[in-house]
Chain A
Amino acid sequence: MTTETPAIAYDTAHPDESFIQGLWENFKGGNLGSAPVIFGLTIIVIVFGFTAQNFFTAVNFNNIITQMAGTTMLAFGVVFVLLLGEIDLSIGYLSGLIGVIAAELQKPDSGHHYAGLWPIIGALIVALGIGAFQGSFVALIGVPSFVVTLAGLLAWQGVIQITLGAGGPIIIENRWINYTASYFFSPTAGWIIAAIVIAFYLGSVGLSLLDKRRHGVTVRYPWFVAAKVIAFIALTLLVVGICNHDRGVPLAGVEILFFLIFWTYISKRTTFGRHVYAVGGNPEAARRAGISVPRIRIIVFMISAFMAGVGGIVLAGNLRSVAPDQGGGTLLLDAISAAVIGGTSLFGGRGEVRSAVLGAAVIATIQNGLYIFGFQPGVIYIVTGSILLFAVTLDTIARRRQAKTGR
């Protein structure tokens, strides 16, 4: 990299601070980032890889991806809600409800049968409406989000039971809904996807470097950027290689990647994303800076409901049917745990979109590995709970450190 041509002497990084020192400063400042969860996930994979039979196989790799897809979608929404310092308890049954609506809309001979992608689109529009409805209570009236969404949790569960009460489960024959969870790309298509992803990544890195150069801003740690690019390419090729060893790249995996990139971009590169972090960090400061706090809150609850809807469709597609307990079980808690385990703070203002994927991967891997060992669900819950407690403890300690270095 030859972009180190600062036009102004005011450095964006401390000139004589090494990369490691920078990380350490961040760490001391309570900014752990994704380091703990990546470390933890690596340990989990290594332990299961050596102990559990058939864990380290391409088939199981694809299984974990398809199993975690639904939860991950919900967790993306949770990240945004947590960034605001709010909570959304309705997403579990809301995802179930959206799955049921999509199933209803594709039901043959029902008088409201729609073909193709329309059931999915229609159901997701309903999700946006519900998100705006719930968010308005929080943002405009000031009802605590815990209560609003707790009411949603109860109410949407009720709506599901009433809807399915008479007819029982609905079988889903719409192939698009089923594809969301169970389509696999051919090996060639898989490599093409890899090429597109890598080209996209190289393009975005290149553009950001060009932009910095044009404005005379120093590139911090150029060799770190290079290492990241190489690691990214290697990882992409490795993942596609493993997937192709089995049924191919799952569409569910592409969905995870798509929303990961999309929401990361929204949260980090747009004014809206910046305002979400600002409202989560200090709502009063955001208000005084002229940010419309209610608008941000409503949009975030819409994102949360929308992603719950996307997750609900993936989960419905996974079972190829919807049942009266759709969206129940540990789905809600798994989604919130995923965001928190991934490193998003419960206290608002700190976290990354990628924590949804990382946390969901930890939960799915543990559940998968313990299941292979033949443990009963009880054990799996206990282990997941312990990891959640550990993650929140880490976050709380990090926060206290931040408060300490603050003065």
Chain B
Amino acid sequence: MGRPNYVRNHSSMAAEPPVLELRGISKSFGSVEALTDVDLEVHRGEIMALVGDNGAGKSTLIKSIAGIHSVDAGEILFEGHDVHISGPKDAAKLGIEVVYQDLALCDNLDVVQNMYLGREAHNVLQVLSEPVMEQRTATTLKSLAVTTIRSIRQPVATLSGGQRQSVAVARAVMWNSKLVILDEPTAALGVAQTEQVLSLVKRLGEQGLAVILISHNLHDVFETADRISVLRLGRNAGLFERTKTTQQEVVQAITAGAPTKVSGIPQVAPS
């Protein structure tokens, strides 16, 4: 299977394999084909937007990367190696972190407890090391310039939407992750909070992480993304470089884009 042409065209990163590369991913639920032969790739320090209408398959695709769904066909390459991801733990081990749309935070736990959920610092007797966790949480939040949270010991139920999103994103980057996937991070946020989260997303790219940003909001996408990949009805429907395209062109691909890939032959993205 040949490598899609755009890899060679894409700036200076051609030498290094992409952090994540999906080749011909297919997934169906019973008779419903959610994903058909989908390709996607993202490099270090790159923000790749994944856009598409409702039901285009965006969520299914990221759940496949996160190991929540298994794929029926296709390859997942992580840093050039073929990998098999069969659960959230596998994904985390590789350095893939997902921030879900519904946040996946426990409202009854505080900020520190949520940041370390499932990966608590503990000794041999499984006894928690609270000061370690408290301190590292504080440093991580600070390094991401998340400063609006009053106390890291307050339950996340008492935080605003933007603060909760910031906690979820901070949790994703705390684990030496290489790829962060953000599912609609600004949905249900106010204007100021959206700006907060978007600048946080940009900072992730600047820190050298690979970011996949799923969004409905083209304004957000054009403000942050380096490249934009369009899904339509579970198929690739276009790949754009942000600086060389327009919102109209992307909207066109979302609503009426023809599949860009037919019978396994990847095609060059319009540019």
Say yes or no for B134: interface residue by CB 8 A criterion: yes
* Bound-state Cα–Cα, A277 to B114, Å: 11
Given known pairs A286-B106, A290-B88, A290-B92, the reply for A269 and B135 (CB within 8 Å) is no
Please determine whether B135 and A289 come into contact, CB atoms closer than 8 angstroms: no
The total number of A-B Cβ pairs within 8 Å is 125
Please determine whether B88 and A289 come into contact, CB atoms closer than 8 angstroms: yes
Please determine whether A8 and B135 come into contact, CB atoms closer than 8 angstroms: yes
Say yes or no for B153: interface residue by CB 8 A criterion: yes
Rounded to whole Å, the gap between the CB of A100 and the closest CB of chain B is 35
Partner of B135, one of A217, A272, A275, A288: A217
Please determine whether B128 and A271 come into contact, CB atoms closer than 8 angstroms: yes
Give the interface segment out of A9-17, A128-136, A181-189, A355-363. A9-17
Give the interface segment out of A139-147, A208-216, A256-264, A304-312. A208-216
Q: Contact flags (1/0) for B108-138 with A, using CB distance below 8 Å?
A: 1100010001111010011111111011001
Give the interface segment out of B35-43, B45-53, B156-164, B234-242. B156-164
Rounded to whole Å, the gap between the CB of A351 and the closest CB of chain B is 10
Please determine whether B117 and A278 come into contact, CB atoms closer than 8 angstroms: yes
Say yes or no for B107: interface residue by CB 8 A criterion: yes
Q: Nearest chain-B residue to A215 (Cβ)?
A: B131
Q: Nearest chain-A residue to B188 (Cβ)?
A: A407
Q: Nearest chain-B residue to A212 (Cβ)?
A: B131
Rounded to whole Å, the gap between the CB of B146 and the closest CB of chain A is 10
Please determine whether A406 and B157 come into contact, CB atoms closer than 8 angstroms: yes
Please determine whether B155 and A29 come into contact, CB atoms closer than 8 angstroms: yes
Residue total for B at the interface (Cβ-Cβ under 8 A) = 47
Residues of chain A within 8 A (CB-CB) of B109 are 274, 277-278, 281
Please determine whether A350 and B119 come into contact, CB atoms closer than 8 angstroms: no
Please determine whether B138 and A286 come into contact, CB atoms closer than 8 angstroms: no
Say yes or no for B219: interface residue by CB 8 A criterion: no
Residues of chain B within 8 A (CB-CB) of A350 are 108
Say yes or no for A4: interface residue by CB 8 A criterion: no
Say yes or no for A291: interface residue by CB 8 A criterion: yes
Q: Nearest chain-B residue to A287 (Cβ)?
A: B88
Please determine whether A271 and B122 come into contact, CB atoms closer than 8 angstroms: yes
* Bound-state Cα–Cα, A289 to B113, Å: 12
Rounded to whole Å, the gap between the CB of B176 and the closest CB of chain A is 16
Other than the known A10-B142, A29-B158, what 5 A-B pairs have Cβ atoms closer than 8 Å? Answer: A216-B135, A278-B109, A282-B105, A284-B102, A349-B106
9 contacts between A and B (CB under 8 A): A10-B139, A10-B152, A14-B151, A211-B129, A214-B131, A270-B128, A288-B98, A403-B157, A406-B158
Using CB atoms and an 8 Å cutoff, list the residues of chain A in contact with chain B.
Answer: 7-8, 10-14, 25, 29-31, 211-212, 214-217, 220, 269-272, 274-275, 277-278, 280-282, 284-291, 349-350, 402-403, 405-407
Using CB atoms and an 8 Å cutoff, list the residues of chain B in contact with chain A.
Answer: 66, 68, 87-89, 92, 98, 100, 102-109, 113, 117-120, 122, 125-132, 134-135, 138-139, 141-142, 150-155, 157-161
